[in-house]
A = this chain, B = another copy of it.
């Protein structure tokens, strides 16, 4: 009975899709509501995204750009796309710089004759320590500015411990991350500028636990490079409490090293538009993930969201008028080579991206979308999409302006609309860049609802355009 009613419903939708005029929005609102309901029904009953993510996070885990598992992820998603009915699929080469963690990090603190091991991970792009490691006194700071204030006198010959926590009062945890992550990104260079020997950063999470969070650091030019690592928040609290009372020595040994340049790929599938083949709508996520985890929420979820958008639109029998591309971007985590190369080639080919939607904030329950564009086009674009809000509010989806996604940001110069999926953010930094970002912390329905939300918006953009 259930199967029958679904089939009948899709049949009705198909009739509606074929019969709807394209002249206006208001008159079609009921039909659009029905199609958006169909997208959700189909996705919540027929979606394959959770199975795909299971494969990606187990068979292609730790898929940092240039690694063997990144290559496996490229092959897997390409093969998947080849079964999904795209007009064409291809691999777009991009040059990435490898980085290898090497053997497990060893970080200990020494005080009162004790030696205590800390939960640590080297930061991505970091150089390793000398073979004999680094042994030095720890100095705690709460900001890059504080390093400058302490100056060479306070920093030289020491290991700098950055311990400003993410602000728990920020409702959107990405804002809390944004307010603390400068320590991770620039901490090593700032320490080195004043003679520091290494930087140790409190992990970027609101939880108090034992998991260290890796993530990229960036070395400033013309400043000596020193190693950078993250320690867990529990260890950061413990170390900070110790430092209130006494001098603490730390030994750091890492084996990591930047590697050679390598060729990797963006994986692209295209459904050529039936009416506006030269106006492209991209939906994507990034395929690479930090080496230590499964890359489930970051950003396997975004990849399978994007594939599911195509699967769901196909599933309800929708034929897009615009060209829709599904892109698995490579190297978001430590270089953005894929996003840059995609935009470079697109510009070279004189393409126009009407819209690009990225999912790179996890597979949690969707709360809405953020819209971004060059100032002169954002206002009319946003006015247009805002008219669609009544169709999506009943799914708990809301609109805001703001950043979209790193991989699609280089497309901004084409003057299209950039869009970010906004899932609920509360749990994202519990797992971000850790060993525990695995399939078991992704809820199947929450993942599916994200894909359904994206497919619904893509449907509206495709049907009505943005003008």
In the assembled complex, how far is the CB of residue A434 from the closest CB belonging to chain B, in whole angstroms?
Answer: 15
Contact between chains at A169 and B443 (CB < 8 Å): no
Report B-chain residues with C-beta under 8 Å of the C-beta of A446: 426-427
Known: A426-B443, A443-B426. A169 touches B41 (CB 8 A): yes
Q: Which of B44, B169, B367 contacts A169 (CB 8 A)?
A: B44
Q: Which residue of B lies closest to A446 (CB)?
A: B426
Interface contact B443-A171, CB-CB below 8 Å: no
Residues 368-409 of A contacting B (Cβ, < 8 Å): 394-396
CB-CB under 8 A from A427, the residues of chain B are: 443, 445-446
Q: Which residue of B lies closest to A429 (CB)?
A: B445
With A and B bound together, what is the CA distance between A142 and B449 in angstroms? 27
Chain B residue numbers with a CB within 8 Å of A45 are: 168-169
Collect the chain B residues with CB atoms within 8 Å of residue A396's CB: 171, 367
Q: Which residues of B contact A41 (CB under 8 A)?
A: 169
A444-B40 in contact (CB<8A): no
> Is the pair A445, B40 in contact by a Cβ cutoff of 8 Å?
no
Contact B168 A206 (CB under 8 A): no
Is B424 touching A365 in the complex (CB atoms < 8 A)? yes
A32 is an interface residue with CB less than 8 A from chain B: no
| A301 to B142 CA separation, bound complex (whole angstroms) | 35
Residue of B with least CB distance to A448 = B168
Whether B424 and A443, one on each chain, are in contact in the complex, defined by CB atoms closer than 8 angstroms, is no
Q: A430 within 8 Å of B by Cβ?
A: yes
Does the CB pair A206–B445 fall under 8 Å? Answer: yes
Q: Hey, which chain B residues are within 8 Å of A171, CB to CB? A: 40, 394-396, 449
> What mask results when residues 291 to 327 of chain A are scored 1 for a CB within 8 Å of chain B, else 0?
0000000000000000000000000000000000000
**Binary B-proximity of A23-66 (CB < 8 A = 1, otherwise 0):** 00000000000000000110011000000000000000000000
> A430 contacts which chain B residues (CB < 8 A)?
443
Query: Complex Cα distance A41/B171, Å?
Result: 9
Q: Which residues of chain A from 145 to 181 have a CB within 8 Å of any chain B CB?
A: 168-169, 171, 173
A169 to B206 Cα, complex, angstroms: 33
A72 interface hit (Cβ, 8 Å)? no
Q: Which of A417-453 contact B (CB under 8 A)?
A: 424, 426-427, 430, 443-446, 449
A415 close to B (CB within 8 Å): no
Taking CB atoms, residues of chain B closer than 8 Å to A444 are 207
Instruction: Please name all residues of chain B whose beta carbon is closer than 8 Å to the beta carbon of A206 when the two chains form the complex.
Output: 445
Chain B residue, CB-CB nearest to A47: B168
19 interchain pairs (CB within 8 A)? A40-B169, A40-B171, A41-B169, A44-B168, A44-B169, A45-B168, A168-B445, A171-B395, A171-B396, A206-B445, A207-B444, A365-B365, A367-B396, A424-B424, A426-B445, A426-B446, A426-B449, A427-B446, A430-B443
Query: Assuming A44-B168, A44-B169, A207-B444, what are 13 further A-B pairs, CB within 8 angstroms?
Result: A1-B142, A40-B171, A45-B168, A45-B169, A171-B394, A171-B395, A171-B449, A365-B365, A426-B443, A426-B445, A426-B446, A427-B446, A430-B443
